[in-house]
């Protein structure tokens, strides 16, 4: 961070300035204030003279007055931590220009000009990881959402689409590989060991999709021939030693390309497709046109270092970024309020892809688990916002579970309402109608109405209103007529800025089961669109057992009045795998919430253990599903229902219930662990399922018999041939005070020293431990030589994990809260985007009992009082305190 003394830096001290120059009350931007750009930039050429310390960039913009603009003669160009070195208009030194804050204002006399701007960049000291930065000696970019303005002055908004030509030049030994968007047009060697490349992207794109990579990289290459006969050269670029871990990413890419042709009729449109893995990255990955840049954790996988979950992550994210080529790039967003247009839709597309590649019901359960643990808390807290927000201060704060995951759920509901074939007609029309445009969520909805034949008038409220709808259901049986009436109510709770809500259309798949035969007469789709609504069914001799929101057709909190026996029945008999899972989850949830109120219910605990026993015995379900059924609801989800609550009490109740089940099912769990341990390694569903239940069996056993579990976990670790088994064993061991623990924690580190992604796991495993001394461990790990605050993966592996470990984070002393606040204060000047991501954990104080809530608030206040907070962190902190 010694940029201040760098004489070649005309802007002074860019990184520190990031934090310092922001006004204290940052401007709020409103969706309804959208106006079209005054000037368009049909073409841009960028010329980079590459260096890690200093990169020179010359940008030549062909600008044209927008006939649909407001006629402003001044060209407004965004800038962020860059300075103008030279500025020319039509080849002559520009006159009359000025700076407005960090933006450049250039009055122009005519309606079309050529503007040339030189800027100087300092990748090595760019710790924010936005714009052009250095990562492990290579140069790479991240421009979404507003990083391009850190490279050159530009109308950095997604509705300005340009054709890009990029030339880059640099020392060949340092940067043997030179990549940018589109197709390689030309390349050659220069004097003094330098070389250059020219990349040409024929597809007009917004600036946030620009990318450049330069470095010492090696490629895993393959080809794909599209349905239209285009032969595409594929490459996954990584650092030398990582090449053997790229096969799964390449397989996933090819599968994605094929799947998008078959499922959505989308064909790839360039001759090259490049993926590059970088180890310093703020998010998961980025869909730059033809040049996707990835966090290494979503590219690299081999059995020894990646878990089955990691393999799924690679497949899902490779798919996600590839699918953006149509949902995001060919059709982009008009403005950032429309972010869910591309993200919600693309998440749905990647979910459907992963479901097709593996098990559909298991994927659905996983997606719902994430929604409940991450999105529901957001939607009921101080940062709640609609999937299409109305305002923001810092757009980076809106890459949220709401925009992404709830956004996907909303489009999934359209699919449920339309049916698969009509939904496809809707997406076809959308792609056809808006190809090449910067579109809005409204454009998508309209295409769905016209193409799929839906009336989405009321449905639009899902885009307008924040908050998870609460639905209640009571069933009433009339013996004399054999009629069942389902009484529903719905209420969308108040959220910040939205005190009054309207009912939304809620599609609910329902089945009514006959108690004796265990069967039903067919699933029905109900659409609940009023505050109160009844549905009647007849032909029943006895009150049926009602299964509602099967497959989780709507992202709601359902409070269905069901007898414990009915939940037990559904857990055993429901033919919808999700509903079966859900019944058991509800039964467990009821027991845990009851326990913290008035102690355990012996009868219900018995029923849960019995139902779980059936799950272990049932040879009709595969192990991947069995593993899901064995997991108890997360503390984050339980807190939504119990709030305000003592999270540690909830955690303890959950552990005790696990102990009860573990004791009752001890023999079955040991038998399951034995059976699963005998299955050899493979990537097929059976072998993966075996690994999943193997660790779940240990988890349950550990709560009942620590000695037995420790011995089995240590043996599992020692004989592990793969990371799934090794990490599972270590997770269990980390929570047991036994001699093997420290020995194997040390062994793990020694074995994987130098492999950053596995060392991340080593940090996480310890920060996640069910161990009363975990906060001491975290404090010590922060001083470990492998810890660095500069790498987002490492920071998250230690601190995000701790913040998600309820017993640690919510330690009565407030020490967990203090550690997170200290981290935010230290990280904010270095990487504001990543720092701001830690605020929601503290911002959840309203869900927590008053004593802890006060401690959480105090930490937020301490952060808020710090001088020079970034816009990112300031927005999140001030909203969390309101």
d(CA 642, CA 844): 13
What is the per-residue binding string for Zn ion in 345-384, x denoting contact by CB under 5 A?
A: -x--------------------------------------
Nearer to ligand ARG, 320 or 660 (CB): 320
- Could you say which of 106, 276, 283, 314 contacts ligand ARG (CB under 6 A)? 283
Q: Which is nearer to ligand ARG, 52 or 295 (CB)?
A: 295
Give min distance, CB of 73 to ligand ARG, in A.
Answer: 33
Least Å distance between CB 470 and ligand ARG?
A: 29
Min. distance of Cβ 719 from ligand ARG in angstroms? Answer: 38
DSSP at 631: P
Distance, in Å, from the CA atom of 60 to the CA atom of 57, rounded to the nearest integer, reads 10
Q: Please identify, using beta-carbon distances, which residue of 293 and 808 lies nearer to ligand ARG.
A: 293
Reduced to 3 states, what is the DSSP secondary structure of residue 451?
Answer: helix
Beta strand residue intervals within 441-550, DSSP E: 470-478, 483-491, 506-513, 524-528, 532-538, 545-548
**Residue showing tokens 């000009």:** 113
Rounded CA-CA distance 640/643 in Å is 6
Indicate the residue among 409 and 622 with the shorter CB distance to ligand ARG.
Answer: 409
Nearer to ligand ARG, 316 or 728 (CB): 316
Strands 55-65 vs 98-100: parallel, antiparallel or unpaired? unpaired
Q: Kindly state the smallest distance separating residue 349's Cβ from ligand ARG, in Å.
A: 12
Site map 287..326 versus Zn ion, x via CB under 5 A:
----------------------------------------
Q: Which does 135 bind (CB under 5 to 8 A by kind): ligand ARG, Zn ion, none?
A: none
Which of positions 665-704 make contact with ligand ARG (CB under 6 A)? Answer: none
Two tokens at 230?
A: 């285009």
**C-beta separation of 176 from 146 below 8 A:** no
| Cβ at position 147, least distance to ligand ARG in Å | 7
Closest separation between CB of residue 130 and ligand ARG, Å? 6
Residue 576 binds: one of ligand ARG, Zn ion, none (C-beta under 5 to 8 A by kind): none
Catalytic pick among 15, 169, 321, 378: 321
Per CB under 5 A, which region of 84-92, 338-346, 583-591, 745-753 contacts Zn ion? 338-346
321 is catalytic: yes
CA atoms of 495 and 467, how far apart (whole Å):
6
Cα(155)–Cα(149) distance, integer angstroms: 8
Closer to Zn ion at the Cβ: 346 or 549? 346
DSSP classification of residue 334: S
Whether omega for the bond prior to residue 145 falls within 30 degrees of 0, making it cis, is: yes
286 binds, among ligand ARG, Zn ion, none (CB under 5 to 8 A by kind): ligand ARG
The residue count for binding ligand ARG (CB under 6 A) is 14
The CA distances from residue 857 to 199, 640, 811, 839, in Å, are 51, 19, 15, 11
Return the structure tokens found at 232: 């595409």
d(CA 91, CA 87): 9
Residue 144 as a binder of ligand ARG (CB under 6 A): the answer is: yes
Closer by beta carbon to ligand ARG, 295 or else 549? 295
Of the chain, the end-to-end C-alpha distance in Å amounts to 34
The CA angle 465-470-472, to the nearest 5 degrees, is 145
Partner in contact with 396, chosen from ligand ARG, Zn ion, none, beta carbon below 5 to 8 Å by kind? ligand ARG
CA torsion 154-156-160-163 (nearest 10°) is: 60
Q: And the tokens for 497?
A: 């800025």
Question: Measured between alpha carbons, how far is 842 from 804 in angstroms, rounded to an integer?
Answer: 11
Residue 175 or 323 having the CB closest to ligand ARG? 323
What is the footprint of ligand ARG within residues 395-454 (CB under 6 A)? Answer: 396, 399
145 interacts with, out of Zn ion, ligand ARG, none, CB within 5 to 8 A per kind: ligand ARG
Query: Between vectors from CA 93 to CA 88 and to CA 96, what angle results, nearest 5°?
Result: 95
What is the chain's Cα-based Rg?
A: 28
DSSP 111: S
Does the protein bind ligand ARG through residue 145 (CB under 6 A)?
Answer: yes
**Residue nearest ligand ARG by beta-carbon distance:** 283
Residue 490 binds to ligand ARG (criterion: CB under 6 A): no
The candidate with the shortest Cα–Cα distance to 266, out of 313, 331, 343, is 331
- C-alpha distances in Å from residue 627, one per residue of 351, 465, 675, 730: 19, 35, 14, 18
Choice between 287 and 379, CB closer to ligand ARG: 287
Select 131 or 426, whichever has its Cβ closest to ligand ARG. Answer: 131
Q: Is position 834 an interface residue for ligand ARG (rule: CB under 6 A)?
A: no
**257 neighbors 231 (Cβ within 8 angstroms):** no
Task: Give the binding range for ligand ARG (CB under 6 A) out of 55-63, 70-78, 278-286, 531-539.
Answer: 278-286
Q: Which residues of 592-617 are buried (b: 16+ CB within 10 A; e: fewer)?
A: beebbeeeeeeebbebbbbbbeebbe
Q: At closest approach, how far in Å is the CB of 342 from ligand ARG?
A: 7
The verdict on 287 binding ligand ARG (CB under 6 A) reads yes
Binder of ligand ARG out of 286, 373, 770, 841 (CB under 6 A):
286
Q: How far is the CB of 359 from Zn ion (least distance, A)?
A: 23
Q: Residue 146 and residue 125: Cα distance in Å, rounded?
A: 18
Q: Assign 3-class secondary structure to 117-183.
A: EEEEECHHHCCCCCEEEEECCEEEEECCCCCHHHCCCECCCCCCCEEEEEEEEEECCCCCEEEECCE
Per-residue contact string for residues 316-355; x = within reach of ligand ARG by CB under 6 A = ----xx---------------------x------------
Interacting stretch for ligand ARG, rule CB under 6 A, among 40-48, 142-150, 296-304, 365-373?
Answer: 142-150
Please choose which of ligand ARG, Zn ion, none residue 142 contacts, taking the beta carbon within 5 to 8 angstroms, the exact cut-off set by kind: ligand ARG
**Hey, how many other C-beta atoms are within 10 angstroms of the C-beta on 769?**
26
**Alpha-carbon gap, residue 252 to 321, rounded angstroms:** 11
Say how far apart CA 770 and CA 805 lie, in whole Å. 8
The least CB distance from residue 386 to ligand ARG, in Å, is 19
Judged by CB under 6 A, the residue of 285, 374, 570, 577 near ligand ARG is 285
Secondary structure letter of residue 784 according to DSSP: S
User: Which residues are CB-contacts of 671 (< 8 A; sequence separation ≥ 6)?
Assistant: none
Task: Give min distance, CB of 282 to ligand ARG, in A.
Answer: 5
Min dist CB 287 to ligand ARG, Å, is: 5
Residue carrying the six token digits 């966090």: 295
Give the interface segment with ligand ARG, choosing from 132-140, 283-291, 601-609, 730-738 (CB under 6 A): 283-291
Min dist CB 396 to ligand ARG, Å, is 5
Q: Which is nearer to ligand ARG, 397 or 880 (CB)?
A: 397
Stretch binding Zn ion (CB under 5 A), from 68-76, 337-345, 498-506, 656-664:
337-345
Q: Give the burial class of 14: count Cβ atoms within 10 A of its Cβ; 0-12 exposed, 13-18 middle, 19 or more buried.
A: buried
Contact range with ligand ARG by CB under 6 A, out of 82-90, 285-293, 630-638, 693-701: 285-293
142 lies in the site for ligand ARG, by CB under 6 A: yes
**Smaller CB distance to Zn ion: residue 144 or 582?**
144
Q: Which residues of the chain form contacts with ligand ARG (CB under 6 A)?
A: 142, 144-145, 282-283, 285-287, 320-321, 343, 396, 399, 833
Residues involved in catalysis: 321
Q: Which residues bind Zn ion (CB under 5 A)?
A: 343, 346
């Amino acid at each position: 961070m010694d940029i201040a003394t760098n004489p070649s830096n005309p802007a002074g001290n860019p990184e520190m300035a990031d934090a310092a120059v922001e006004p204290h009350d940052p401007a709020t931007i409103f969706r309804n204030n959208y106006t079209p750009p005054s000037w368009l930039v049909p073409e841009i050429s960028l010329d980079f003279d590459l260096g890690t310390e200093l990169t020179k960039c010359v940008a030549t913009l062909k600008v044209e007055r927008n006939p649909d603009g407001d006629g402003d003669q001044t060209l407004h160009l965004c800038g962020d931590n860059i300075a103008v070195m030279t500025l020319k208009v039509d080849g002559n030194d520009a006159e009359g220009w000025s700076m407005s804050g960090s933006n450049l204002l250039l009055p122009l006399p005519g309606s079309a000009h050529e503007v040339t701007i030189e800027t100087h960049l300092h990748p090595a000291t760019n710790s924010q990881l936005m714009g052009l930065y250095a990562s492990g000696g290579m140069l790479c970019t991240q421009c979404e959402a507003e990083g391009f303005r850190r490279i050159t002055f530009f109308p950095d908004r997604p509705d300005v689409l340009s054709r890009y030509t990029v030339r880059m030049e640099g020392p060949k030994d340092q940067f043997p590989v030179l990549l940018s968007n589109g197709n390689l047009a030309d390349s050659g060697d220069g004097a003094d060991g330098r070389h250059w490349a020219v990349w040409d992207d024929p597809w007009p794109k917004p600036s946030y999709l620009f990318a450049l990579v330069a470095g010492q990289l090696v490629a895993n290459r393959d080809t794909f021939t599209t349905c239209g006969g285009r032969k595409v050269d594929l490459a996954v670029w990584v650092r030398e030693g990582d090449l053997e871990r790229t096969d799964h990413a390449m397989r996933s890419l090819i599968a994605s390309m094929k799947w998008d042709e078959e499922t959505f009729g989308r064909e790839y449109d360039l001759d090259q497709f490049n993926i590059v893995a970088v180890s310093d990255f703020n998010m998961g990955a980025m869909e730059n046109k033809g040049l996707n840049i990835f966090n290494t954790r979503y590219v690299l996988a081999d059995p020894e270092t990646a878990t089955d979950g990691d393999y799924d992550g690679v497949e899902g994210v490779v798919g996600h970024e590839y699918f953006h080529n149509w949902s995001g790039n060919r059709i982009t967003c008009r403005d950032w309020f429309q972010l869910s247009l591309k993200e919600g839709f693309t998440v749905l597309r990647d979910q459907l892809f992963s479901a097709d590649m593996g098990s559909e019901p298991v994927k659905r359960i996983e997606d719902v688990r994430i929604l409940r643990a991450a999105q529901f808390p957001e939607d009921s807290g101080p940062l709640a916002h609609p999937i299409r927000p109305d305002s923001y201060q810092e757009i980076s704060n809106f890459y949220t579970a709401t925009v992404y995951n709830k956004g996907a759920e909303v489009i999934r509901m359209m699919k449920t309402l339309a049916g698969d074939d009509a939904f496809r007609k809707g997406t076809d029309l959308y792609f056809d109608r808006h190809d090449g445009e910067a579109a809005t969520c409204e454009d998508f909805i309209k295409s769905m109405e016209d193409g799929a034949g839906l009336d989405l008038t009321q449905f639009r409220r899902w885009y307008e209103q924040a908050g998870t709808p609460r639905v209640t259901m009571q069933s009433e049986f009339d013996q004399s007529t054999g009629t069942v009436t389902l009484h529903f109510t719905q209420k969308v709770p108040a959220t910040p800025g939205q005190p009054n809500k309207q009912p939304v259309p809620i599609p609910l798949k329902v089945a009514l089961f006959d108690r004796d035969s265990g069967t039903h007469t067919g699933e029905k789709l109900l659409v609940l669109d009023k505050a109160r609504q009844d549905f009647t069914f007849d032909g029943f001799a006895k009150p049926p057992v009602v299964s509602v929101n099967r497959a989780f057709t709507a992202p709601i909190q359902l409070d269905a009045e069901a007898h414990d026996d009915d939940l037990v029945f559904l857990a055993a008999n429901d033919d919808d795998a999700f509903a079966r899972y859900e019944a058991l989850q509800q039964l467990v949830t009821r027991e845990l919430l009851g326990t913290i109120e008035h102690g355990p219910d012996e009868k219900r605990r018995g029923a849960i253990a019995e139902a779980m026993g059936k799950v272990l015995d049932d040879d009709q379900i595969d192990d991947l599903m069995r593993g899901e059924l064995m997991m108890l609801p997360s503390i984050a989800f339980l807190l939504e229902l119990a709030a305000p609550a003592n999270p540690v009490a909830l955690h303890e109740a959950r552990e005790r219930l696990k102990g009860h089940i573990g004791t009752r099912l001890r023999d079955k769990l040991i038998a399951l662990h034995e059976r699963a341990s005998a299955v050899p390694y493979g990537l097929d569903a059976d072998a993966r399922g075996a690994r999943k239940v193997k660790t779940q069996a240990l988890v349950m056993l550990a709560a009942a018999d620590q000695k037995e579990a420790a011995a089995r976990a240590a043996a599992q670790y020692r004989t592990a041939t793969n990371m799934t088994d090794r990490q599972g064993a270590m997770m269990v061991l980390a929570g047991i005070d036994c001699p093997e623990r420290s020995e194997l924690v040390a062994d793990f580190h020694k074995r994987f020293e130098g492999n950053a992604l596995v060392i991340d796991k080593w940090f996480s495993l310890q920060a996640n431990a069910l161990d009363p001394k975990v906060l001491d461990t975290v404090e010590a790990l922060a001083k470990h030589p492998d810890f660095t605050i500069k790498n987002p993966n490492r920071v998250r592996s230690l601190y995000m994990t701790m913040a998600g470990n309820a017993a640690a984070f919510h330690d009565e002393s407030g020490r967990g809260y203090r550690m997170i606040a200290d981290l935010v204060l230290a990280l904010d000047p270095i990487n504001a985007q990543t720092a701001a991501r830690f605020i929601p954990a503290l911002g959840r104080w309203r869900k927590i009992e008053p004593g802890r809530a006060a401690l959480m608030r105090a930490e937020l206040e301490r952060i808020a009082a710090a001088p020079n907070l970034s816009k990112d962190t300031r927005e999140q902190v001030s909203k969390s305190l309101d």
